[in-house]
Amino acid sequence: MQEFDFLVIGSGSGLDVANVAANQGQSVAVVEKGPIGGTCLNRGCIPSKHLLYHADVLETIERADEFHIDATVEDVDFADIVREVNEEVEADSASIRSGLRSSSRHELFEGEGRFVDERTVEISGGEDDGARLRADTVLIAAGTRPSVPPIDGIDDVDYLTSTEALQLETPPEHLIIVGGGYIAAELGHFFGTFGSEVTIVGRRPNLLPEADEEVAEAFTDRYVDRFTVHTGHAATAVSEDGESVTVEARPYEYGDDGGIVEDEEPVTVTGDALLVAAGRVPNTDTLNLDATGVETDARGFVETDEYLETTADDVWALGDIVGEYLLKHSANHEARAVARNIFGEDLEPVDYSAMPFAVFASPEVAGVGASEGDLRAADREYATNTYSYGDTARGDAMKTEGFVKVLIDLEGEILGCHIIGPQASSLIQEVVVAMKSGSGTVRDIREAVHIHPALPEVVQRAFSGQFSRGDGGHRHQH
């Protein structure tokens, strides 16, 4: 048995807390079964956004004729693009591993960690198979993995998840994507831009169902123009025949009493690759949490209090595995909160207000705060305004579509903001700062000087125009 002051399972954002412990002079154990650096670095946002930027460059060139520029793409070395990105990711992971191995205050244990007692973990597999570790404080930051729904025949088909898709060195001729969330949207954009025919099958009425409904509808309309899209359909069966894979999907009614509509004709799609992008599941089932007092919710995510301490004393959790926001910037935010609460003098609840998200597809989507559907469901009074990119000088110059939608209460407090269009992931930041660090009202945006004719004017004007009052699902000019 090896004894430590602090132990973390997972080497993503949990490392930020481990580093604080080490800087406080504590002995630290880091347990990691996969590549060092966690999902974001190795299998998520870093490789995907690197690859997506290449798609954005190609898309820009292909639009050049709209600006009376005759440009042609002579060649695309897709394999080199993928190899370069993955080599950079591997180098970053190796650098973190080297730093942990050479640290006098961290000890890295490579293998799968499973609880065998309160705050006691045993390592299986990897270089440190059989090691048993105990710590005064334990942090669970073991993340999630791709979810694979129980589709008939799925176990007999050679399908991809996002992990494998990010390493493909040849784009499929026809990629079928099961799922309609941000992973489906981003990878559809990536492979579609590089020449794949793309078909998307999603159960919900729109793609990006977690976005504001008006944004999701606009996004879905754009993807219908680009790809073959079957929303409102659930994949019910898959099969493989040589180099081809076939997906059968039936109409799906979403809602409390909804489900597959059996008496409707199915849609059948055949392609040469299948990507399952149906969300994420927590890795709690690998941890043997029954050996501790750590409880999970109905979906398997770790239960915590508002300070991110679990139901077991001195066992904390953060990141995707707690299921609040499956976003790297949320995990980093939680890591700062956990570090304060473990090593500070006073406990502070995690503040999830103004937690933004972004989808790096084409078009980009970003949002923060409540959607209009959220406000209607809560029966809240609100007002809303929308402003189009094309009605600004810069948006007009870019020949672009898209809009900024603002939701406020009747006193002017910002309740939410939702953007679809170029640089949405950057434009949303002004609103996040206003909600988090300013007065949180429309004045923060209206009264700030915005450079003319830069793109942020579309945000300023969305906050400065005439708002319509929302009431019971209807809008009234106000």
Which element (helix H / strand E) includes 315? strand 315-317
Q: Find where tokens 């434009």 sit.
A: 427
Q: What is the DSSP string of 111-122?
A: SEEEEEETTEEE
What CA–CA distance (Å, rounded) separates 117 from 121? 7
Tokens of 23: 């800087």
What CA–CA distance (Å, rounded) separates 478 from 469? 6
Burial 327-351 (b: 16+ CB within 10 A, else e): bbebbbbbbebbbbbbeeeeeeebe
Helix (H, G, I), strand (E, B) or coil at 435: helix
Tokens of 310: 């679990």
What CA–CA distance (Å, rounded) separates 131 from 123? 5
Give residue 104's identity as a one-letter amino acid code: S
Q: What is the DSSP string of 259-299?
A: EE-TTSPPEEEEESEEEE---EEEGGGGTTGGGTT--B-TT
Report DSSP state, residue 152: B
Of the residues 452, 474, 476, 478, only one is catalytic, namely: 452
Helix (H, G, I), strand (E, B) or coil at 178: strand
Give residue 312's identity as a one-letter amino acid code: A
Q: What is the DSSP string of 393-419?
A: HHHHHTT---EEEEEE-TTSBEEEEEE
Annotated catalytic residue 106: no
C-alpha dihedral (453, 457, 461, 464), degrees to nearest 10: -110
What CA–CA distance (Å, rounded) separates 438 from 22? 34
What CA–CA distance (Å, rounded) separates 211 from 189? 18
CB atoms within 10 A of CB 321: 27
Residues belonging to the active site: 452
